[in-house]
């Protein structure tokens, strides 16, 4: 019998062979890896194993997972988790986005889909109660996010209505899709949902694009999967929401006031490709967004009362009709201050543009700002862009984001992501890689979230990114112990929103136990299950390949810029403390049971039931 | 004696959290089952969430349309009640409803309509608990032209689109 919280079936879709199979995973795998980020890593190992380093993530053989977890749709804040071999880090990321697609797929009876192969023409996958079909997407290829969603909504709803007209009105389906950036295999492109939600980190939009897979669409009329202890789950559901509802400030503002505050208060907001992290630009204050642009102040996704999202729309002027969510802090920073822009309208426009092109709003714009700094330093010329790029100029960044998505001019190189673009441009210009990498703000290929470490006043510190198995991902940062890291791993594996975890930890784990029936506790997760998943992810990123391999310790570090003194503001002169980074990295490796270079030891692999990794890890020790 | 009640709706205020669907289905079905919920939140375009539920029209066209008298009204709350034994799943009530609100249950395929939870609607409880107040309880029933609120949710979304997005709103719901 399937454990509680799972629909109990997964799909394996081979797009080369037009073959769709239903599969199951053992109860042991479910208990040991849960779902989403964890289970995807285990399934990846089972499919690829020791040949990891030879696998090109953008080749047809490369698997792509679109997984839910046992908590999805049941615990507040349901999300989908996308994973696979990351085309940007060569490890794995459990990349999540909020969308009703996750519930629709579970209601149709499936916990997730693994894609392999490559369709010979653009397709989308349609999952309904009547079955699973690979459909032509020729008419959708090339469309931006909004048009893709509008067309698919109409087309699928009409078809379901035709199939069963008598049951009444059909609600629209759920979907994840890619925009032009994913189609063009921009390495750090996102898997998108709901026009402005993104599974950004990891670059899985390019993996979808490499498979000619435009979208995955689901509509199910069944119930949410049954759980082990339904009465307890219902009570815990009520209790958790009651606590989340009390989080009034976050519900009111989301992170939409942070575009001013993170810069002004904690000096950790990227400005002009992280040349500065402090500003006091009141033009960028929260109310300037809220009062003028927020048309819906409390916007939530399925089963969420945190409602940190707000819908923004520009209703006049040159960007009339642009719609996005808020933007949240990350995009206020990456599509605003990091471009040298402190204008809410321009920020909303560029955020909406990134969404519609299917860029990850953090990662793609990080690369765009990197390019403009290279121009500032004289490495790139006007001719590389076809115009003169300028900080603070919305048109500059509008054009660069489009050039990346079309792979035009320098955009073709930038589409490889910040790290690879640095290497390529160095080669093009006869420079040493280090000369350009000092401006590349990434860890292990993954461009860093918009929280700096130099001031040490934000939630991110010394090894937050340096030790992270998901590189620059700010949602999964490391500390020197188990707890914080394991928390993010749990949300990404149960597959629910990290922003719905502001309740006592014990409550969350009681919830998980009631749902699954697994003997799961805070302790067991922090000491065994969380470290098991992180250790497996560490093994993947260490194996790397085929075009690059990270060097342990040397690459377990912050970008050079984080060691340059902050040039301005109340924290002027501060740098990330390198000695502390070294010490905490050693402590982190020790805590996880990895050797001093961060390679998991034989004993640790045995203790975590990861013996299958021993052969690969022995080669690295 | 339960007072006549009505669920007033403020569609602009719906967050799209769908807790109404969860609360309704937990009450009526014992478990989370959004597609069996008597209130369903449609989202023809993100940001345009529309709570779709029975408005208790004064003339109850659904009740009148039923060929086997499976539908009746609750004398105290005014809710439409479905006799699931009698219902033949013919769909006449769905076609008669100005907003196409009733639907055939995804489990037993019988007509499914909001019963106002006997006077204490669970959807309203969770919506007001969260402070959204997209669904609120009123006793002003007889003074409201309730039937006007029985609308196709895609039409409602088209109106909301203009209200929220201005001219752009004309393009987002096909």
Of B44, B152, B164, the CB nearest to A296: B164
Query: Which chain A residue is nearest to residue B19, measuring alpha carbons?
Result: A303
Sorting pLDDT into bands at 50, 70 and 90, what band is A550? very high
Measured in angstroms, the CA of A361 and the nearest CA of chain B are apart by 18
Q: At a CB cut-off of 8 Å and minimum separation 6, what does B46 contact?
A: A149, A194, A195, A196, A311
Q: Which of B35, B46, B130 sits opposite A107 (nearest CB)?
A: B35
| CB–CB contact A315 B166 (8 Å) | yes
CB contact under 8 A, A171 and B45: no
Examine residue B57 and say whether the peptide bond preceding it is cis (omega within 30 degrees of 0): no
CATH number of the structural domain B6-172: 3.30.70.20
Average pLDDT over residues B137-143: 73
- Cβ-Cβ pairs closer than 8 A, A with B, add up to 137
Q: What is the pTM of this model?
A: 0.98
Which residues on neighbouring strands pair with residue B104, listed in sequence order? Answer: B111
| pLDDT single digits (tens) B94-127 | 999 999 999 999 999 999 999 999 999 999 999 9
Which of B33, B47, B100 is opposite residue A323, by nearest beta carbon?
B47
Which residues does chain B have within 8 Å of residue A300's beta carbon, measured at their own beta carbons? 15-17
Residues of A in Cβ contact (< 8 Å) with B34: 103, 107, 224
pLDDT at residue B139 in the model: 79
A153 neighbourhood in chain B, CB within 8 Å: 44-45, 174
Interval B68-93: pLDDT, tens: 999 999 999 999 999 999 999 999 99
Rounded Cα distance, A327 and A570, in Å? 26
Output the pLDDT for position A93. 98
- Nearest CB to A305; choose among B19, B43, B173: B19
Q: In angstroms, what separates the C-alpha of A422 from chain B's closest C-alpha? A: 37
**Distance to chain B for A268, nearest Cα, Å:** 31
Indicate the angle between helix axes A286-293 and A344-357, nearest 10 degrees: 70
Q: How confident is the model at residue B8 (pLDDT cuts 50, 70, 90)?
A: very high
Q: Determine the average pLDDT of the residues in A495-513.
A: 96
Taking residues A551-556, report their average pLDDT.
Answer: 97
Q: What is the pLDDT of residue B2?
A: 56
Inter-chain CB proximity B45 and A149 less than 8 Å: yes
Domain spans in chain B, listed from the N-terminal domain onward = 6-172
Chain B residue with the nearest C-alpha to that of A196:
B46
A401-432 tens-digit pLDDT: 999 999 999 999 999 999 999 999 999 999 99
Cross-chain residue pair A300–B31, CB shorter than 8 Å: no
What proportion of chain A, given as a percentage, has pLDDT over 90?
97
pLDDT given at position B174? 85
Q: What is the pLDDT of residue A483?
A: 66
Task: Classify A543 in phi/psi space as left (phi over 0), alpha (psi -120 to 50) or beta.
Answer: alpha
pLDDT at position B5: 87
Residue of B19, B23, B32 to mutate when probing chain A, most A C-beta within 10 A:
B32
Q: Is the pLDDT of residue A580 over 80?
A: yes
Which band of pLDDT confidence, cut at 50, 70 and 90, is reported for residue A193?
very high
Quick one: DSSP state of residue B2?
P
- Nearest chain A residue to B94 by CA distance is A168
CA A618 – CA A480 distance, rounded (Å): 25
The packing angle between helices A394-406 and A344-357, to 10°, is: 0
Q: Indicate yes or no: CB of B43 within 8 angstroms of CB of A100.
A: yes
Inter-chain contact B36–A223, Cβ cutoff 8 Å? Answer: yes
Across the interface, whether the CB atoms of B44 and A153 are under 8 A apart is answered yes
Give whole-number Cα distances, B7 to A42, A226, B137, B139, in Å: 48, 30, 5, 9
High-pLDDT (> 70) share of chain B, %: 96
Q: Does the distance separating the beta carbons of B131 and A245 come in below 8 Å?
A: yes
Contacts of A222 in chain B (CB under 8 A): 33, 35, 106
How distant is the alpha carbon of residue A16 from its chain centre?
27
Which residue in B1, B9, B18 sits closest to B126, CA to CA? B18
Chain A residues close to B39, C-beta within 8 Å? none
For the segment A234-289, what is each residue's pLDDT rounded down to a tens digit?
999 999 999 999 988 889 999 999 999 999 999 999 999 999 999 999 999 999 99
Residue A1's pLDDT is 79
Question: Which domains are assigned to chain A?
Answer: 10-229 (3.60.9.10), 251-447 (1.10.569.10), 483-620 (1.10.599.10)
Mean pLDDT of chain A: 97
Residue A364 has pLDDT above 60, yes or no: yes
To test the contact with chain B by mutation, choose from A79, A221, A230 the residue with the greatest count of B C-beta atoms within 10 A, namely: A221
Question: What's the distance, CA A290 to chain centroid?
Answer: 26
User: Is the model's pLDDT at A74 over the cut of 90?
Assistant: yes
B51: closest chain A residue by CA: A171
Q: How confident is the model at residue A484 (pLDDT cuts 50, 70, 90)?
A: low
Query: Around Cβ A319, how many Cβ atoms within 10 Å?
Result: 17
- pLDDT of A218 > 90? The answer is yes
Instruction: Give the E-state strand segments of A85-177 in sequence order.
Output: 95-98, 112-116, 123-128, 131-136, 174-177
């Amino acid at each position: 019998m399937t454990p509680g919280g799972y629909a109990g079936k997964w799909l394996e879709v081979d797009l080369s062979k037009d073959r769709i199979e239903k599969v199951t995973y053992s109860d042991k795998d479910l208990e040991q890896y849960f779902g989403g980020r964890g289970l995807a890593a285990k399934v990846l190992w089972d499919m690829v194993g020791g040949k990891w380093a030879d696998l090109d993530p953008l080749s047809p053989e490369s698997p792509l997972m679109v997984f839910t977890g046992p908590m999805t749709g049941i615990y507040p804040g349901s999300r989908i988790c996308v994973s696979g071999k990351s085309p940007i880090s060569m490890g794995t990321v459990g990349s999540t986005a909020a969308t009703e697609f996750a519930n629709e797929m579970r209601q149709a009876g499936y916990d997730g889909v693994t894609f392999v192969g490559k369709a010979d023409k653009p397709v989308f996958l349609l999952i309904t109660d009547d079955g699973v079909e690979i459909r032509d997407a020729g008419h959708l290829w090339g469309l931006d996010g909004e048009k893709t969603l509008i067309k698919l909504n109409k087309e699928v709803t009409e078809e379901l209505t035709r199939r069963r007209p008598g049951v009444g009105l059909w609600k629209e389906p759920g979907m994840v899709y890619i925009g032009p950036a994913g189609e063009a295999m921009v390495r750090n492109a996102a898997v998108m949902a709901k026009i402005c939600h993104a599974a950004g980190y990891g670059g899985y939009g390019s993996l979808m694009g490499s498979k000619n897979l435009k979208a995955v669409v689901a509509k199910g009329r069944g119930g949410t999967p049954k759980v082990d202890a339904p009465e307890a789950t219902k009570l815990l559901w009520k209790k958790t929401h009651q606590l989340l509802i009390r989080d009034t400030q976050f519900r009111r503002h989301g992170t939409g006031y942070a575009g001013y505050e993170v810069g002004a208060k904690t000096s950790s907001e990227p400005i002009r490709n992280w040349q500065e992290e402090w500003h006091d630009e009141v033009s960028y204050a929260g109310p300037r967004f809220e009062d003028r642009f927020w048309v819906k102040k409390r916007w939530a996704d399925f089963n969420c009362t945190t409602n940190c999202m707000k819908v923004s729309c520009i209703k006049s002027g040159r960007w009339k009709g642009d719609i996005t969510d808020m933007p949240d802090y990350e995009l206020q920073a990456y599509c605003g201050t990091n471009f040298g822009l402190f204008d809410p309208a321009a920020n909303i426009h560029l955020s909406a543009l990134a969404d519609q092109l299917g860029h990850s709003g953090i990662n793609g714009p990080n690369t765009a700002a990197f390019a403009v700094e290279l121009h500032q330093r004289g490495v790139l010329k006007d001719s590389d862009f076809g115009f003169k790029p300028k900080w603070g100029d919305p048109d500059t960044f509008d054009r660069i984001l489009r050039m990346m998505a079309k792979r035009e001019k320098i955009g073709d190189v930038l589409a490889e992501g910040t790290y690879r673009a640095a290497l390529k441009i160095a080669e093009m210009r006869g420079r040493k890689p280090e000369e350009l990498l000092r401006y590349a703000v990434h860890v292990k290929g993954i461009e860093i979230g918009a929280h700096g470490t130099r001031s040490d006043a934000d939630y991110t510190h010394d090894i937050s990114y340096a030790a992270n198995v998901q590189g620059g991902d700010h949602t999964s940062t490391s500390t020197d112990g188990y707890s914080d890291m394991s928390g993010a791993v749990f949300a990404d594996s149960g597959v629910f929103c990290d922003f719905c975890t502001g309740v006592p930890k014990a409550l969350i784990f009681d919830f998980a136990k009631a749902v699954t029936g697994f003997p799961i506790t805070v302790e067991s997760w922090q000491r065994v299950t969380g470290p098991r998943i992180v250790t497996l992810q560490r093994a993947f990123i260490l194996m790397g390949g085929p075009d690059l391999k990270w060097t342990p310790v040397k690459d377990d570090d912050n970008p050079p810029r984080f060691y340059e003194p902050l040039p301005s503001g109340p924290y002027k002169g501060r740098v990330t403390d390198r000695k502390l980074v070294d010490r905490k990295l050693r402590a982190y490796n020790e805590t996880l049971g990895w050797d001093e270079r961060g390679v998991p030891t034989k004993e640790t692999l045995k203790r975590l039931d990861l013996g299958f990794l021993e052969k690969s890890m022995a080669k690295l020790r | 004696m339960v007072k006549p009640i009505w669920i007033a709706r403020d569609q602009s205020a719906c967050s799209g959290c769908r807790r109404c669907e969860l609360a309704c289905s937990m009450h009526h079905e014992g478990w989370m089952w959004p597609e069996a919920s008597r209130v369903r939140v449609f989202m023809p375009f993100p940001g345009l969430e529309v709570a779709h539920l029975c408005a208790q029209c004064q003339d109850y066209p659904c009740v009148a349309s039923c060929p086997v008298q499976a539908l009746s009204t609750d004398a105290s709350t005014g809710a439409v009640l479905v006799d699931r034994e009698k219902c033949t799943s013919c769909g006449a009530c769905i076609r008669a409803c100005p907003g196409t609100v009733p639907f055939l249950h995804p489990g037993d395929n019988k007509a499914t309509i909001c019963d106002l939870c006997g006077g204490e609607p669970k959807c309203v409880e969770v919506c007001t608990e969260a402070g959204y107040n997209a669904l609120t309880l009123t006793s002003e029933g007889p003074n409201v032209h309730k039937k006007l609120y029985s609308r196709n949710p895609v039409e409602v979304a088209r109106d909301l689109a203009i209200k929220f997005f201005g001219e752009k709103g004309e393009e987002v719901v096909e």
